Amino acid sequence: MKSLELLVEKIILSSRWLLVVFYLGLVAALAVYALSFMFKFWKVAKEVFTLSEAEMILAMLGLIDAALVASLIVMVMISGYENFVSRFDETEADVSFLGKLDAGSLKIKVASSIVAISSIHLLQIFLNANQYSDTTLMWYTIIHLTFVVSAVMLGWLEKIMATTKAHKHETKL
């Protein structure tokens, strides 16, 4: 019976390598998104002298939004791989620019990125407020506030868990 248990555990632990398919898919998605970004950039560059100031601001916000989404993809790929699949070889890859990202801090960084992306979308909508009904503006604002509250709650819960973990560690000493 013990050998069956060991086999099941080995299969479960090995299954983490299936995540590599998802991370490679994100690499491909990032490449496609980079092409999309270059197309948007080229479109803005061609029209730089004909766009109004408001249109240029909206175009720049779109490019910033794309950069934030791309950064989010990279953060999820690298930290997800390192947390759930395998550590990067210290001599081969320097991922210190991400800092220490465990599953909890990854959730907070992802939530913060979503809030930043949502903020840019909301700003774009408010700059074109005349194109939206009051009800639509209200719902976009409520959705954004939901993202903000969720990120704050995740941060608060992570702080509580860190405090609890530190307290347990102190009582063991």
pLDDT of residue 29 exceeding 70, the answer is yes
- What per-residue confidence (pLDDT) applies to 25? 96
pLDDT of residue 27 exceeding 90, the answer is yes
pLDDT of residue 98 exceeding 80, the answer is no
Asked if the structure places residue 52 within a domain, the reply is: yes
- What per-residue confidence (pLDDT) applies to 2? 84
Domain tally for the chain? 1
Asked if the structure places residue 3 within a domain, the reply is: no
Cα dihedral across residues 102, 106, 107, 108: positive or negative: positive
Asked if the structure places residue 111 within a domain, the reply is: yes
The secondary structure of residue 51, as a DSSP letter, is: S
Q: What is the dihedral of CA 162, 163, 164, 169, to 10 degrees?
A: 90
| Percent of the chain scoring above 70 in pLDDT | 88
- What per-residue confidence (pLDDT) applies to 172? 65
Asked if the structure places residue 13 within a domain, the reply is: no
pLDDT of residue 64 exceeding 90, the answer is yes
- Cα(161)–Cα(49) distance, rounded to whole angstroms? 53
Tokens of residue 126, six digits: 């408010």
**Phi, psi for 36 (deg, rounded to 5):** -60, -40
Asked if the structure places residue 38 within a domain, the reply is: yes
User: Of 54-58, 73-77, 144-148, 158-162, which has the strongest mean pLDDT?
Assistant: 144-148
